[in-house]
C-alpha cells in the first residue's frame, strides 16, 4: 500500500483536485466493523437528537463528534486487541452511516407529534414507515446530484461541516485528534443530568415571578412575567455551538415575548371578567372570578400556553417563509444548474471517469426503481392514509416532485451555509402550503385529507433533512478520497437502522410523557367511531384501573361530538368519558391527579405550527388574529434588518429553554475573544476543545434525559429507590398523603441548581478559552 497523499484538508479551487487518498490507492473502506460502529453511533446520536428537537425544536450536526469518536474508539480497539489500524476511509464510513440519525431525528421530531394535534393516533407503523421512506428518499434523490454539487461546484459550494469533518479525519490519520474532550463532556453531562433528573438532588427549572399577589388577588410588579431557566448541560452546549449571534437573537425573542407581550396581556386583561379565546373556562372550577381561564388568574406559563405560543408560531411561520423567499434566486439557480450539470455529465460519457474509484456512484436504476418502490410502499401501507386511489396517486406524485425539489434545495443550501443552518422548517412550511393549496383547489378538506397532507409533508421534510446531510457526507468523502458508491450504501444502511429506532423512540417518549386525568371531563354521552382503538389506562392510575377503554379524538368544532372540548379521551362502553389524555405535545396540566409533577412536555414549535397551517387552510380553524400578529412582528423585524427566524424561535420556546442557550452563546463569545481577540465573535474551529466539550455536553445530557424518560415504564420501587432527593428532603403531601419533593419550589434546591450549573459553565469556559495547541490531545 502506497503512502497517502498529504494534500491539505481544505483544497484549493484547482480544476484537477487530488483527494487525500488518491484514486489509484485502494484501502479497506466498507467493512463490517465500520458499518456496525457507524450504525450504532447513528442510533445513539439520533435518539439523543430526537430528545433535543422535542425540547427546543433544533439539532446540531453530529458528523464531527461521530468522526472524532470513530477515530478514538478504533484506535483503542487496535491497541488493546492488537488488530490492524483502521483506515481513514473506514472512519469516513462510520461518520457517513452515523450522520443519518441526527437528520432523520429532526424530521421525525418536528412532524410526527402533529398527528396527535390533528386528532390521529401516533400509530407505530405510520411513524416508522414515514421515517423510513423519508430517509431513503433523501438519499436516493441526492445520488444523481452528487456530480453536479460536489464535483462540478467544488470551490464554489463550501460545505462547512463537511470540510471540518474532513479536517478531523485527516488530522486523526496523522495522529492529531482524539475524542478525549467529547468523552469528558459526555461524562460530566451524564452525571449532572442523572443527579438532577433521576436522583432529584436539585431543581431542574428554578424560576421566580417578577410580581407579587396579595390576599385580595391584586398583583404588583411586572405582571405576567417571570425569570426561569432549565439549567441543563445539553442546552448550554447547544448555545455554545450555535454561537453568540443566534443565541442572542433567540434571547431577544424571549425578552420580547415574556417581558413585553406577556405583561401587556396580563395588564390589559387584569380587569376582564370573561374568558378571552383561545383560553377556555376550567370546567372543574366554579365559574367565578377565581377561575383559571381568566387572564387575571393566569401564571406566566398559562399566558404562554394560551396566547404567546400562537404569536410565536406566526412569527416562526413568517421567518421560515422569508428565509425561503430570500433563498429563491439560489433555489432556482441550483435547480437550473443541477439539471444543466446532470445533462453535461451524461452527455460527456467519459468512460475513463466512470471507471475511477472516486467517481463510482450507485446506478441511476437504483434511484428510479427505488423511488418507484417507495411510491408503492406509501400506497400499500394503510396507516399512511394514501391508498391505491387517485388521491393516493396524486399524493405520491407530490412526494416525488416536492421531494426532489427540496432535496435539491437542501443540498445546495447545505453547501452554502452548512447543515446546522439549513432552513428545513421553512422548506416544510413551503411544502405544507403547496400541498394544502392543491388539496383546497381539489376540494379535499376532510380530516383524512389533513392526515394525507401531513404525511406528504412529513416524508418531504425528512427527505430534505437527510438529503442535505448526505450531500455533506459526500463532500467529506470527496475531500478524503472515498468511494461514493460505498458511502451511499453506508448511509442507506445507517438510515434504515436509525429510522426504525428513532420511530420507536418517538413512540416511547410520547408514551412516557403521557398521563391520564379525570379533570375537565364532559358530562355527555360521546359518539364513538366503530373503528376506534382501545387502550388500557396508564399513570397515575396504572395500579388502580385495568379496564380497556375506547380512544376518541375530539377535534375543534367536531361534528360528532360538538359540545365536547377538543382532546383525546378514553370512553367507557356507555359512551361516557372516563379519562382525558394529557399528551406531552399539548400539555395542559402541570400536576397529575395524584399530586405529582406531570411528565416533561414537548416544547418544539414546529408541530404546533404545522398543525395550525394545515387546519387553517383546510379546516378554517386557525387562530388568525394571534397568528397574524406574529407574522407582522416578524415582518417588522426583517424591515429593521434583523433576521426574524431565530428571534421567532426565541418567542415561541419557553424562556426556561432559551436562557441556558443564551448563556452558552455568551461563553462562546468570551472564549473566542480570549483565544483570538482579533477574530470574528462566532469564529471557532470545529475541532477546538470548547466545541468538542459542548458536543459531549449535548450527547451526555440528551442521552441521560432519554434514559430517565424511559424510567416511566419501570416499577415504582425502582423509581422511588433512585429518587434520593425525595427521601432526604421530601414532605408528606396533605392531599395524597404521599412523600413528595418539589425542588423547583424550594429555595435551597434552586441555589444548589445554580451552583451545579455554574460548575458546568466554568468547565466549558476554561476549556473553550484554551489555545488550540493546549486543547487538542493526541493518543
Q: What percent of the chain has pLDDT over 70?
A: 83
Q: CA 445, 449, 454, 459 torsion: positive or negative?
A: negative
Half-sphere exposure of 228 (CA within 13 A, CB side): 22
Radius of gyration of the chain (CA): 26
Of 62-66, 216-220, 652-656, the range with the lowest mean pLDDT is: 216-220
Distance, in Å, from the CA atom of 311 to the CA atom of 303, rounded to the nearest integer, reads: 11
326 phi/psi in degrees, rounded to 5: -65, -30
pLDDT, tens digit, for every residue of 494-526? Answer: 999 988 888 888 988 888 889 899 888 888 888
Q: What three-state secondary structure class fits 11?
A: coil
The set of cell numbers assigned to 411 is 443540498
User: Degrees (nearest 5) of the Cα angle 512, 590, 524?
Assistant: 90
pLDDT reported for residue 623: 66
Asked if 555 and 566 count as a contact pair (C-beta separation under 8 A), the reply is: yes
SS3 string of 430-443? HHHHHHHHHHHHCC
Report whether the peptide linkage leading into residue 278 is cis, meaning its omega lies within 30 degrees of zero: yes
Distance of CA 586 to CAs 315, 397, 600, 607, 770, Å? 19, 32, 11, 10, 43
- What is the pLDDT at residue 9? 42
Tens digit of pLDDT for each residue in 582-624? 989 888 888 888 777 788 888 877 888 788 888 888 887 666 7
φ/ψ bin of 597: left (φ > 0), alpha (ψ from -120 to 50), beta (otherwise): beta
Residue pLDDT, tens place only, 219-255? 777 877 778 888 888 889 878 877 888 889 989 999 9
Contacts of 119 (CB under 8 A, 6+ apart): 447, 553, 554, 555, 566, 568
571, β-bridge pairs = 550, 577
Low-confidence winner among 27-31, 55-59, 414-418, 559-563 (lowest mean pLDDT): 414-418
**Residue of 371, 393, 533, 530 whose CA lies nearest to 452:** 393
Rounded to the nearest 10 degrees, how much is the dihedral formed by the CA atoms of 516, 522, 523, 527? Answer: -100
* Closest by Cα among 605, 563, 613 to 586: 605
pTM greater than the 0.85 cutoff = no
Bond prior to 540 in cis (omega within 30° of 0): yes
> Cα dist. 583→53, 114, 266, 598, 599 in Å?
17, 11, 27, 10, 9
Summarised one tens digit per residue, pLDDT across range 69-125 is 888 888 888 888 877 888 899 999 999 998 888 888 888 988 899 888 888 888 888
What are the residues facing 732 on neighbouring strands? 739
Position 12 scores a pLDDT of 40
Q: Can you count the helices (H) and strands (E) in the chain?
A: 28, 9
Residues 6+ apart with CB under 8 A from 401: none
DSSP string, 338-356: HHHHHHHHHHH--HHHHH-
**Distance from C-alpha of 458 to C-alpha of 137, rounded to nearest angstrom:** 12
Q: pLDDT tens-digit profile of 273-318?
A: 887 777 766 665 666 677 777 888 888 878 887 788 778 877 877 7
Of the candidate ranges 21-30, 141-150, 344-353, 442-451, the one whose mean pLDDT is the lowest:
344-353
Give Cα 418 distance to the centre of its chain: 16
Q: Provide the grid cell at 622.
A: 386557525
Residue 568, SS3 per DSSP: strand
Give the DSSP letter of residue 523. S
Q: What is the 3-state secondary structure (H, E, C) of 221-289?
A: EEEEEEEECCCCHHHHHHHHHHHHHHHHHHHHHHHHHHHHHHHHHHHHCCCCCCCCCCCCCCCCCCCCC
640-687 pLDDT tens trace: 988 887 888 788 778 888 899 899 999 999 998 888 776 654 545 555
For cell 435551597, name the residue. 748
For residue range 630-641, list pLDDT tens digits in order: 889 989 999 998
CA distance 198 to 192: 10
For the record, the C-alpha cell of 249 comes out as: 437573537
The x, y and z cell numbers of residue 763, run together, are 468547565
Report in angstroms the alpha-carbon separations of 260 from 225, 256, 341, 651, 762.
8, 5, 51, 11, 32
Q: Looking at 118-132, 174-188, 202-216, 765-779, which range is the least confident one? A: 765-779
Q: Nine-digit cell at 315?
A: 412569527
Cβ-based neighbour number of residue 745 at 10 Å: 12
More confident residue, 355 or 246: 246
Amino acid at each position: 500500500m502506497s503512502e497517502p497523499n498529504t494534500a491539505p484538508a481544505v483544497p484549493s479551487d484547482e480544476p484537477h483536485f487530488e483527494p487525500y487518498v488518491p484514486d489509484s490507492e485502494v484501502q479497506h473502506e466498507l467493512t463490517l466493523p465500520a458499518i456496525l460502529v457507524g450504525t450504532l453511533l447513528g442510533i445513539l446520536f439520533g435518539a439523543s437528537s430526537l430528545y433535543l428537537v422535542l425540547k427546543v425544536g433544533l439539532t446540531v450536526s453530529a458528523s464531527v463528534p461521530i468522526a472524532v469518536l470513530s477515530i478514538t474508539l478504533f484506535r483503542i480497539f487496535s491497541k488493546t486487541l492488537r488488530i490492524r489500524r483502521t483506515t481513514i476511509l473506514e472512519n469516513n464510513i462510520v461518520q457517513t452511516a452515523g450522520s443519518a440519525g441526527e437528520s432523520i431525528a429532526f424530521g421525525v421530531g418536528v412532524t410526527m407529534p402533529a398527528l396527535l394535534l390533528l386528532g390521529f393516533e401516533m400509530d407505530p407503523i405510520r411513524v416508522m414507515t414515514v421515517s423510513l421512506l423519508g430517509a431513503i428518499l433523501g438519499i436516493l434523490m441526492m445520488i444523481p446530484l452528487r456530480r453536479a454539487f460536489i464535483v462540478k461546484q467544488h470551490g464554489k459550494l463550501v460545505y462547512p461541516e463537511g470540510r471540518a469533518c474532513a479536517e478531523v479525519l485527516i488530522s486523526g490519520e496523522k495522529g492529531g485528534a482524539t475524542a478525549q474532550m467529547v468523552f469528558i463532556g459526555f461524562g460530566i453531562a451524564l452525571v449532572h443530568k442523572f443527579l438532577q433528573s433521576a436522583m432529584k438532588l436539585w431543581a431542574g427549572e428554578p424560576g421566580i415571578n417578577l410580581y407579587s399577589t396579595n390576599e385580595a388577588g391584586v398583583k404588583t410588579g411586572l405582571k405576567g412575567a417571570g425569570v426561569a431557566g432549565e439549567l441543563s448541560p445539553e442546552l448550554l452546549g447547544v448555545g455554545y455551538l450555535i454561537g453568540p449571534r443566534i443565541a442572542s437573537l433567540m434571547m431577544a425573542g424571549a425578552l420580547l415575548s415574556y417581558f413585553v407581550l406577556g405583561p401587556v396581556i396580563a395588564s390589559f386583561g387584569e380587569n376582564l371578567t370573561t374568558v378571552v379565546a383561545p383560553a377556555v373556562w376550567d370546567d372543574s372550577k366554579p365559574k367565578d372570578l377565581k377561575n383559571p381561564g381568566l387572564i387575571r388568574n393566569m401564571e406566566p406559563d398559562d399566558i404562554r400556553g394560551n396566547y404567546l405560543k400562537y404569536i410565536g408560531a406566526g412569527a416562526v411561520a413568517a421567518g421560515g417563509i422569508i428565509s425561503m423567499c430570500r433563498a429563491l434566486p439560489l433555489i432556482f439557480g441550483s435547480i437550473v444548474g443541477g439539471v444543466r450539470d446532470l445533462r453535461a455529465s451524461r452527455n460527456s460519457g467519459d468512460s475513463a471517469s466512470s471507471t475511477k474509484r472516486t467517481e463510482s456512484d450507485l446506478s441511476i436504476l437504483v434511484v428510479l426503481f427505488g423511488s418507484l418502490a417507495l411510491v408503492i410502499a406509501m400506497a400499500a401501507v394503510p396507516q399512511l392514509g394514501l391508498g391505491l386511489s387517485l388521491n393516493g396517486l396524486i399524493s405520491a406524485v407530490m412526494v416525488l416532485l416536492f421531494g426532489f425539489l427540496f432535496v435539491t434545495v437542501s443540498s445546495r443550501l447545505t453547501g452554502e451555509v452548512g447543515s446546522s443552518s439549513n432552513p428545513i422548517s421553512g422548506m416544510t412550511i413551503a411544502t405544507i402550503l403547496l400541498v394544502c393549496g392543491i388539496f383546497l383547489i381539489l376540494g379535499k378538506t376532510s380530516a383524512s385529507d389533513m392526515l394525507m397532507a401531513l404525511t406528504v409533508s412529513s416524508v418531504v421534510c425528512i427527505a430534505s433533512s437527510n438529503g442535505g446531510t448526505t450531500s455533506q457526507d459526500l463532500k467529506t468523502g470527496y475531500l478524503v478520497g472515498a468511494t461514493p458508491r460505498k458511502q451511499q450504501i453506508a448511509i442507506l444502511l445507517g438510515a434504515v437502522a436509525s429510522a426504525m429506532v428513532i420511530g420507536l423512540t418517538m413512540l416511547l417518549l410520547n408514551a412516557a410523557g403521557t398521563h391520564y386525568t379525570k379533570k375537565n371531563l364532559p358530562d355527555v354521552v360521546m359518539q364513538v367511531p366503530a373503528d376506534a382503538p382501545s387502550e388500557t389506562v396508564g399513570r397515575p392510575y396504572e395500579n388502580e384501573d385495568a379496564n380497556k377503554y375506547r380512544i376518541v379524538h375530539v377535534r375543534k368544532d367536531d361534528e360528532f361530538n360538538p359540545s365536547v372540548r377538543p382532546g383525546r379521551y378514553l370512553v367507557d362502553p356507555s359512551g361516557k368519558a372516563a379519562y382525558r389524555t394529557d399528551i406531552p405535545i399539548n400539555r395542559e396540566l402541570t400536576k397529575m391527579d395524584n399530586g405529582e409533577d406531570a411528565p416533561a412536555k414537548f416544547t418544539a414549535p414546529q408541530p404546533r405550527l404545522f398543525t395550525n397551517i394545515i387546519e387553517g387552510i383546510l379546516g378554517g380553524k386557525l387562530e388568525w388574529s394571534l397568528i397574524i400578529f406574529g407574522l407582522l412582528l416578524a415582518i417588522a423585524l426583517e424591515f429593521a434588518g434583523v433576521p426574524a427566524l431565530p428571534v421567532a424561535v426565541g418567542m415561541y420556546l419557553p424562556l426556561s429553554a432559551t436562557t441556558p442557550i443564551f448563556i452558552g452563546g455568551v461563553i462562546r463569545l468570551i472564549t473566542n475573544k480570549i483565544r483570538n481577540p482579533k477574530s470574528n465573535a462566532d469564529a471557532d474551529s470545529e475541532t477546538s476543545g470548547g466545541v468538542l466539550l459542548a458536543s459531549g455536553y449535548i450527547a451526555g445530557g440528551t442521552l441521560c434525559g432519554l434514559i430517565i424518560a424511559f424510567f416511566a415504564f419501570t416499577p415504582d420501587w425502582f423509581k422511588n429507590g433512585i429518587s434520593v432527593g425525595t427521601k432526604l428532603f421530601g414532605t408528606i403531601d396533605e392531599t395524597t398523603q404521599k412523600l413528595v419533593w418539589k425542588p423547583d419550589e424550594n429555595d435551597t434546591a434552586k441555589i444548589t441548581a445554580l451552583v451545579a450549573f455554574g460548575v458546568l459553565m466554568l468547565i466549558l469556559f476554561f476549556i473553550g478559552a484554551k489555545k488550540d495547541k493546549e486543547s487538542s490531545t493526541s493518543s
